[in-house]
Amino acid sequence: MEMKDLLVWKALSDPTRRELLDLLKERPQTTGELCAAFEKLSRFAVMKHLRVLEAVKLVVVRRDGRQRWNHLNAVPLRQIYERWVSKYESEWAGALLKLKRVTESKPSERKEFSMEKFHIEQEVQIDATPNRVFEALTKDVAAWWGAPYQISETAKTIILEPKLGGRFYEDWGSGQGALWATVTQLKQNEILELTGPIGMSGAVQGIACIALEAKGKATLVKLSHRAVGEVNEQKQKGYSAGWQDLLGKRLKEFVEKGIRSGIAR
């Protein structure tokens, strides 16, 4: 384990520092507000804990005049999650619960600055080989991906570059467009993983992984989409319905019947 990861875990090991993060996940707070929340601790003790969190970048400090505003920074948590947890699929549920304790407010306490998450899992069976389905996912995206699942109504096409670091984006012409995500994992006929906002506005980071599994002469398409940031229940419902339509209907009809329902008709 890298030293920076060890320092983050060490910072999180203290209950007072975890409580400080719980307070900051509601909204940014001044140092004075945070000190007032701990009646049994001196201001010096609270500030010492804040300095530890700031040193590992779990807290970002911004000054406004004489006030010192403390902001929760979930990036180090996300990096640890991706590096040490996401590799182990059998521990997804436990990992999400751990992430939730630090980054998600209770429904009754959510405010403008709260960090939330959603998790979508879907499966669809397509009567075609994994090779054919993978080809449609990576080379023929515009044949089945289109309105209303695009940022610009005048987008000319949807492009996915099937390589590590490749872009998944809308092409608006003349060098203009919108980046949906980046390819972060690719295994021929088996896995396509996309990392990015995937069409969401605001401060959002998501990972959508599409895995293909041969089932006789058919292919089981497994979607796992997780996102953290400015998301809510309504957005999750919208994306859940959208993926069902895109993969369960449009992709399936394109692969099985040649029906084109995307931009490139």
Fold of 3-90: Arc Repressor Mutant, subunit A (1.10.10)
Give the closest residue to 264 by CA, choosing from 160, 163, 180, 166: 160
pLDDT tens-digit profile of 187-223?
999 999 999 999 888 788 899 999 999 999 999 999 9
Taking the C-alpha atoms of residue 38 and residue 176, their distance in angstroms, rounded to an integer, is 51
Of the listed ranges 5-9, 132-136, 149-153, the one predicted with least confidence: 5-9
Return the amino acid letter for 55.
A
Question: 233 pLDDT band (50/70/90 cuts)?
Answer: confident
Question: What would the mean pLDDT of 98-124 be, rounded to a whole number?
Answer: 60
Where does 115-257 sit in CATH, by number? Answer: 3.30.530.20
pLDDT at 83: 61
Q: For residue range 14-60, list pLDDT tens digits in order.
A: 999 999 999 988 888 999 999 999 988 999 999 999 999 999 888 88
Q: Residue 115's pLDDT is what?
A: 56
The domain limits of the chain are 3-90, 115-257
**pLDDT at residue number 111:** 45
Strand order in the sheet with 67-72: 29-30, 67-72, 59-64
